Amino acid sequence: MTGRYSEDELIARLFAPIAGPAGLGLEDDAALLPASSEPMVATTDMIVAGVHFFADDPPAQIAKKALRVNLSDLAAKGAAPVGFLLSLALPPDWTNDWLAAFATGLAEDAALYGAPLIGGDTASTPGPLTISVTALGRTSRFAPRAGARPGDAIFVSGTIGDAALGLAVRRDPALAARLSPAARDWLLDRYLLPRPRLDLIETVRGGASAAMDVSDGLVGDLAKLCRASRVSALVEAPLVPLSTAAQEAIGLSPSLFETALTGGDDYEILFAADPAYRPPQGVVRIGAIVPGAAAPAILDASKTQMIFGKTSFSHF
């Protein structure tokens, strides 16, 4: 197609301005990261149009989502970003304008989170837009999934379920109509874009015996943390932090509580820590690690174990 950037042009015009020193101007075959006394943390996530996002979502938002889901993983490990690599498979109908808006969103987040672009690849695809990001970070103390010990308390940051309820609102106009505009907007916004909790890196480094980000639903992700740590858990559902918007939605439709606990895209941090640990504001205790191999038990207000139809969200 004429009138579109060549691969060299789009790199030079759109992506090179986002590159950090380690990216060598995106003119080399590889990034070069200086030696450090801290270990390096590496994580990768791929998102596909029609699977993880809508093809007609705003391009800046797609770019931010692709980067943020990776930064969320770094945050949960106690790692500060040093940069990221981006691979982009573009469908036949891409335009310069689309790609410029995508790059603008990426540039905003690269600056916001101190995570410069350091390398990448572009390819054409007959299929949907596909974006793979690999984020690299460094940490003085890595918080593994596998470090939880019986007796540890379980903590979670922020509020849980907003993104999953935002998706429910998007899919259910009747629900949307019954919510207050403020609650509706809050939930929809939380669904659109993750907010990686890089502000909690020091918290994770200081306190967590085990940590992970909540991306596939609190209940399912806690089960993964427990499986990796060879332990089980008890969670008191009434302790799970809910936004006022989520409370309003659940008040209208109580079954949405299950959606909140098992839906995905929270991008908050779930961690285990010594029970004497005092969390910072905005981080709350929701239960305890216990011995055993059973799936975590989620107890309702009457201490009855809740049974879920589906404990975890999977895009796979």
Residues found near a second copy in the complex (CB under 8 A)? 6-7, 24, 27-48, 50-52, 73-74, 76-77, 79, 85-89, 118-128, 130, 132, 134, 136-137, 142, 144-146, 212-213, 227-228, 314-316
- Min dist CB 262 to a second copy, Å, is 16
CA neighbours closer than 13 Å in the CB half-sphere of residue 214? 30
Residue holding tokens 């879920």? 308
Q: Which is nearer to a second copy, 31 or 249 (CB)?
A: 31
Sign of CA dihedral 186, 187, 193, 195: positive
**What does the angle CA 182 – CA 175 – CA 68 come to, to the nearest 5 degrees?**
60
Q: Which is nearer to a second copy, 28 or 172 (CB)?
A: 28
- Min dist CB 98 to a second copy, Å, is 16
- Min dist CB 37 to a second copy, Å, is 5
What is the Cα–Cα distance from 170 to 173, expressed in whole angstroms? Answer: 7
Quote the tokens at residue 207. Answer: 């306190």
CA neighbours closer than 13 Å in the CB half-sphere of residue 300? 9
Q: Which is nearer to a second copy, 14 or 31 (CB)?
A: 31
- Min dist CB 173 to a second copy, Å, is 26
- Min dist CB 69 to a second copy, Å, is 10
Q: Which is nearer to a second copy, 135 or 187 (CB)?
A: 135
Q: Which is nearer to a second copy, 159 or 215 (CB)?
A: 215
Neighbour count for residue 308 (Cβ, 10 Å): 15
- Residue 196's identity, in one-letter code, is P
- Min dist CB 126 to a second copy, Å, is 6
What is the Cα–Cα distance from 280 to 223, expressed in whole angstroms? Answer: 24
Q: Which is nearer to a second copy, 138 or 190 (CB)?
A: 138
- Min dist CB 85 to a second copy, Å, is 4
Sign of CA dihedral 154, 259, 160, 218: positive
- Min dist CB 227 to a second copy, Å, is 8
Sign of CA dihedral 156, 157, 160, 164: negative
Sign of CA dihedral 302, 274, 82, 90: negative
Question: Would you state the torsion angle of the CA atoms of residues 218, 212, 225, 48, taken in this order, to the nearest 10 degrees?
Answer: 70
Q: Which is nearer to a second copy, 43 or 243 (CB)?
A: 43
Q: Are 79 and 41 in contact (CB under 8 A)?
A: yes
Q: Which is nearer to a second copy, 29 or 93 (CB)?
A: 29
Q: Are 215 and 221 in contact (CB under 8 A)?
A: yes
